[in-house]
Structure 1
Amino acid sequence: MEWMKKLGYGGGATEIELAKQITSYGEICPGLEQYAIKTFAEAFEAIPQALAENSGVKANEVISKLYAVHQEGNKNVGLDIEAEIPAVKDMLEAGVLDTYLGKYWAIKLATNVAITVLRVDQIIMAKPAGGPKPPSGKKDWDDDQND
């Protein structure tokens, strides 16, 4: 099948590259859009962060190294989970690859969930609260102290 031939780099390489490029795009956007885009980009760090934590290395160090290497143009470098210290290596040489469809659907579905949550939150925030008004007679009615 043709779709099975499409592969991407594993080890968090694809996610860091996406985060880097989305952040770059966010830099040119004004106002709240910039904040939303940068936060969306930051969410892509979750995969390499989880890989680092599960392999027993410090996630912050690995993510910093990944960004530095990707900034130099090495798009295929990801987390080396076999190293005992925070390290990165070429995922193509290591044979660590992910399917395009797996990445595509993971990103698409996660984004759809986030959008749905934001829509529900907007509806809840916009709707005035109903129900009975709180009693105004007793002050400090829920204090546990007996006077």
Structure 2
Amino acid sequence: RILMRDGRLVPGAGASEIELANRVTSFGGKTAGLAQHSIKRWAESLEVIPRTLAENAGLNAEDVVSALYKRHGEGDVDAGVDIESETDGVRSIKETNVYDSYASKDWAIKLATEAAISVLKVDSIIVSKQAGIAPPKQSGHWDDD
């Protein structure tokens, strides 16, 4: 159904996430200040998908993620987790034909980021209350007229 709305596909098996993490980490390295840490941590969070795929396939997740970064660094942007592998756990998506919907990836990343931001906002309010600082003012509910 989603392919009828947006037929674009991206490499699956964690290939898109590792490539995005690689590019975001590179961008974070060029950013100054505290924002650099946040950007690099967000990029690191993208490793969850390939790491989970590797673990569920019974592979060593650390080795697979390292091999993915190596292959992507060499320009093989289609390298993803090969769950049937008996060697390094990495294979080109062109060989396996594993693709994901662009729209579903886009929404998953947006929603996960929004959820993390919401948790951080709540945590910030709790910490400010414990420190005796007034929490930031929230705009009223739209139905409070």
1:36 to 19, 35, 38: 38
Shift of residue 16 of structure 1?
0.2
8 Å Cα contact 1:11/1:80 also seen in 2: yes
What pairs with 1:1-147 in structure 2 (closer than 5 Å)? 1-3=4-6, 5-128=7-130
Greater Rg by CA: 1
Aligned equivalents of 1:128 and 1:14: distance in 2? 41
In 1, Cα distance between equivalents of 2:52 and 2:130: 40
Structure 2: state its 5+ residue gaps. 133-145
How many residues align? The count is 129
Q: CA deviation at 1:88?
A: 1.0
Moved over 3 A (4+): none
Partner Cα distance (1:126, 1:109) in 2: 26
Deviation at 1:31, TM superposition (A): 1.9
> Per-residue deviation at 1:62?
0.5
- The separation in 1 between residues aligned to 2:131 and 2:71, in whole angstroms, is 51
SS at match of 2:59: coil
Identity within the alignment, %: 50
- TM-score, with length taken from structure 1: 0.83
TM-fit CA distance, 1:93 = 2.4
The residue number in structure 1 matching 2:140 is: none
Q: Tell me, what secondary structure is at the counterpart of 2:80?
A: strand
Amino acid at match of 1:65: A
2:104 is matched by which residue type in structure 1?
Answer: G
Q: Is the 8 A contact 1:51 1:79 kept in 2?
A: yes
Whole-Å separation in 2 of the counterparts to 1:39 and 1:97: 26
Query: Using the alignment, how far apart are the partners of 1:71 and 1:110 within structure 2?
Result: 26
User: Alpha-carbon deviations, 1:23-44, whole Å to 9, x = none?
Assistant: 0000011121111110000000
Look up the SS of the partner of 1:8 in the other structure: strand
